[in-house]
Amino acid sequence: MKRLLSLFTLLLCFIFVKADEGMWMLNKLKQINEADMQTKGLKLSAEEIYDINKSSMKDAIVHFGGFCTGEIVSADGLILTNHHCGLDAVQSMSTPDDDIMTKGFWATSRDKERKCDGLFVKFLVRIDDVTEKVKSQLSDTLSEASIQQKLPGIFAKITGEANQEGKYTSDVRAFFGGNEFYLMVYEIYRDVRLVGNPPFAMGNFGGDTDNWMWPRHTCDFSMFRVYMTADGKPSKEYSKDNVPYKSKYFLPVNIKGVNDGDYTMTLGYPGRTDRYATSYSVEYGLDITSPAIVKLREKRLEIWNDAMKNSNEVRIKYQAKKNQISNYWKYFIGQMKQLKRMEVPQQKRQLEAQFQQWANADANRKTEYRNVLTDLKNTYSNYRKYGLVRQYLQECASAPEIFAYAGSYGQFGDMLKKEDAKPEDVKAKAAELKEGIEDFWKEYDAPTDQRITGAMLKLFYDDIPKEQHAPIFAEIMSKYKGDFDAYAADIFKKSMFASKEKLAAFLDKPSSKKLEKDLAYKTITSIINHYTTNYRPAVRGFEQAIAANNRKFIRGLRLMNPDVKYSPDANSTMRLSYGTVKLTTLPMLLSITGLPHTTALWKKWTTATLNLKYQHYRRNFSAKRFWALWQRRSIKHLLPFYK
C-alpha cells in the first residue's frame, strides 16, 4: 500500500522504519515471526496474513507483470502499484499525438479503461515445502554440474502435477543457496487494464534514480484493474465480456498517517538479495561487477538522454527503457559507497573467521566444512580472470538493441544450416519471427542505437584485455582503422536488422548464407561464439564450484547459530518484512548525522526547497492546475471514484 503525503509533510518529517531484519516467508510466519510481530504491535494473526483455505492478506498482493508488486485496494480489482511499474504499459499506449505518459491519464468510466497488451498479474495460491521431494532425487555423490543438470527435470515434474492441467501456474525456487526448495502456486490473470497514472513530471519527479533517495517528493503510483471471466475464472486474455475481478481481500487505504512506534510491515515481491555472500563475493562485486555496470550504463544513459531531449518520438520510445537501467545504475553507485563505508568485507571476514574456528573444533565438522572458505577464495581468484569479459558481454555487447535482436535469430540460423530441416518448420519459424518485427520497431530508434553500438564496441575494445577479444575486433581495426563509429554506421547501412522492409523480405526467402553475412548478426555471433568457446566452460565450472561451496557455507552457518532466525535471500517470491515507525524532524536528522542544523539554516533550507518545488510545478503546469493539484494532493480524492 502506497500513500501520498503532502509536500509540506515530507519536508518537515522523515519516516524511518526500525526493522526486524529479514524477508520472511509467509508459510513460516506462525512458526518463526508471529509472536515477535504481535509484540511490536501487530493486531492480526499469522493466518490472517497467509491462509490457503480462507481469504487472507496475501490475496490482496499481486505479482505485477512478473517484475513488480501491486496491491488490490478495492472490492472490484483496482490495483495500486509504483509509477515506474506501470510505465512500460503506459509508454506502449503513448504516441506524439496522444502522449498519455507525459500528460497523464484517468479513465472517467470503466469502459474507458485501456487494454494493456501482454500485461498480467499473478495471485499466490499456496507455498509448499518440496525440499525432501527434490533432495530424494539427488544423491550425495552427484557433482554440482550433475545437480544443475537434473534440477530442471525434477522441477518440471513437480510443477506439472501442481498446475492441474492449466488451472494454475507454478514454479519451484531454491532457498538458502539450494539447501531448501519451495513450490509457489499461482493463479494468473491476463486481462489487466490501465485506470490512471499521473503526469510524468509528477510520477517521475526527480528522476527514477531518486527511487534510492529519501525523502522523495513524487506521485509514485499508477492504477490498473484486473478482470476475470463472467463466470468468475481467471482471464486468459482480454475480452469485452470480462468483468472486474471480485477481490477475495483488499487493502483499505489509511489516510490518517502514522505515529511514532507504530507497527508497520511490507508485503510483496522483492527481486534479489545476497545477504549470505562471503567477503570474496563482496570484493568481486566491488572490484569488477559494480564498476562495470555503472560505467557502461552511464554511457548508455548519456546517449539516450541526448536523443530523448531532441526528439519527442524518441523520448516516448525510450522512457521506460531509460528508467529500467537508470534505477539500478544509481543503486550500484550507492551500494559501492555503502559497502565500503560500512566496511562490509571486513565484517564478512570476521564472520568467516568464526565459521572456520567452529568448523575446526569438531572432527565431523572439519571433514565437511574446513575447506569451504579456502575453496571459495581460490575459485574467486581464478574467476576474476574472466569477470570483466563476462560482465561486458552482459552489459556492453547486448546494449545495442540491434545486436540483441540479431542474436535472437540464432536458433533460426541453426535451423537454416540443417540439411534435413523441414520446409514447413522453416516457414512456420519465419512467420513467427515476422510477427515480432512491428513490436520491436514500435519502441526502437535506429539512429540512437547506432550511437550506442559505436560507443559500446569501443568500450569493449578499450577495457577488455586484447587476448580476450573476439576475431571481429581485428577486422574492425584492420578495415576501419579502429573507428568504431564508422563501423557502426556501416552496420546500420547494410544490416537487414536495421530495416523493417529488408528483414521482412529476408523472412519471405530466408537463407543461412544471407543471415551469416549480415554485419549485425556476424558481429554479435563472433563475440558470443568467442566467449562461449574459450571462456564459458571455465566460467561455468567456477560458478558451479561457488554454488556448491556457498550452499555448504549457508548450511554450516545455520548449524553454527541454531538460535538465530535466518530468512532466505529474496528471489522474486512473496515475502514479508516488519518493524516499527520512527518519526523525526529534519533538524533531528541533521543532528544525528552531524550536519549543520541551526535554526537559520533549517529555515533557509526549507524556504529554498519549497521554492524549488513550486518553480518546477509552475514550469510544468498552468497556475490553475498547479493549485488544484496542490490542494488535492492526497490519493483519498481518487480512490472513492474508482472503486
| Closest among 465, 300, 501 to 385, alpha carbons compared | 465
- 250 pLDDT more than 50: yes
pLDDT at residue 370 in the model: 94
| Closest among 484, 464, 472 to 522, alpha carbons compared | 472
pLDDT band at 245 (very low <50, low <70, confident <90, very high): very high
pLDDT band at 453 (very low <50, low <70, confident <90, very high): very high
- 632 pLDDT more than 50: no
Name the H helices within 311-370.
312-341, 344-360, 363-369
| β partners of residue 169 | 186
pLDDT at residue 476 in the model: 96
Q: Look at 8-17, 27-36, 68-77, 184-193 and tell me which has the smallest mean pLDDT.
A: 8-17
Higher-confidence residue of 18 and 354: namely 354
pLDDT at residue 586 in the model: 52
Secondary structure element (H or E) that encloses residue 446, with its range = helix 446-463
- 462 pLDDT more than 50: yes
Q: CA angle, corner 146, sides to 142 and 151, nearest 5?
A: 105
Compute the distance between CA of residue 80 and CA of residue 220 in angstroms, rounded to an integer: 10
pLDDT at residue 627 in the model: 43
pLDDT at residue 393 in the model: 92
| β partners of residue 407 | none
User: Dihedral of the CA atoms 84, 86, 88, 89 (nearest 10)?
Assistant: -170
- 237 pLDDT more than 70: yes
Span 3-58, pLDDT tens digits: 333 323 333 334 444 445 689 999 999 999 999 999 999 999 999 999 999 999 99
| Closest among 617, 639, 606 to 218, alpha carbons compared | 617
pLDDT at residue 604 in the model: 55
* Contact indicator for 602, 204 with CB cutoff of 8 Å: no
pLDDT at residue 2 in the model: 34
Compute the Cα dihedral for 474, 478, 479, 485 and give only its sign. Answer: positive
Q: How many CB atoms lie within 10 A of CB 249?
A: 16
Secondary structure element (H or E) that encloses residue 585, with its range = strand 575-585
pLDDT at residue 397 in the model: 81
pLDDT band at 94 (very low <50, low <70, confident <90, very high): confident
Model's pTM, two decimal places? 0.83
Q: Is residue 554 helix, strand or coil?
A: helix
pLDDT at residue 214 in the model: 62
| β partners of residue 188 | 122
* Contact indicator for 521, 494 with CB cutoff of 8 Å: no
Grid cell of 384 as nine digits: 576474476
Alpha carbon distances (Å) from 84 to 91, 325, 402: 11, 12, 25
* Contact indicator for 444, 500 with CB cutoff of 8 Å: no
Beta strands in 414-506 (DSSP E): none
Span 127-140, pLDDT tens digits: 999 999 999 999 88
Higher-confidence residue of 261 and 227: namely 227
Grid cell of 405 as nine digits: 535482436
Location of C-alpha cell 519502441: 443
DSSP 74: S
* Contact indicator for 32, 132 with CB cutoff of 8 Å: no
Q: Is residue 189 helix, strand or coil?
A: strand
- 633 pLDDT more than 60: no
pLDDT at residue 208 in the model: 57
298-314 average pLDDT score: 92
Alpha carbon distances (Å) from 319 to 53, 195, 220, 363, 448: 42, 20, 16, 59, 13
Compute the distance between CA of residue 452 and CA of residue 488 in angstroms, rounded to an integer: 9
**Average pLDDT in the chain:** 86
pLDDT at residue 111 in the model: 93
Q: 321: alpha, beta or left, given left = phi > 0 and alpha = psi -120 to 50? A: alpha
Compute the distance between CA of residue 221 and CA of residue 196 in angstroms, rounded to an integer: 9
pLDDT band at 608 (very low <50, low <70, confident <90, very high): low
Compute the distance between CA of residue 337 and CA of residue 503 in angstroms, rounded to an integer: 46
- 539 pLDDT more than 70: yes
Compute the distance between CA of residue 73 and CA of residue 244 in angstroms, rounded to an integer: 13
Span 361-392, pLDDT tens digits: 999 999 999 999 999 999 999 999 999 999 99
Q: Enumerate long-range contacts of 26-33, CB under 8 Å, 24 or more apart.
A: 26/50, 26/58, 26/124, 26/127, 26/574, 26/575, 26/576, 27/127, 27/129, 27/182, 29/576, 32/565, 33/565, 33/576, 33/578
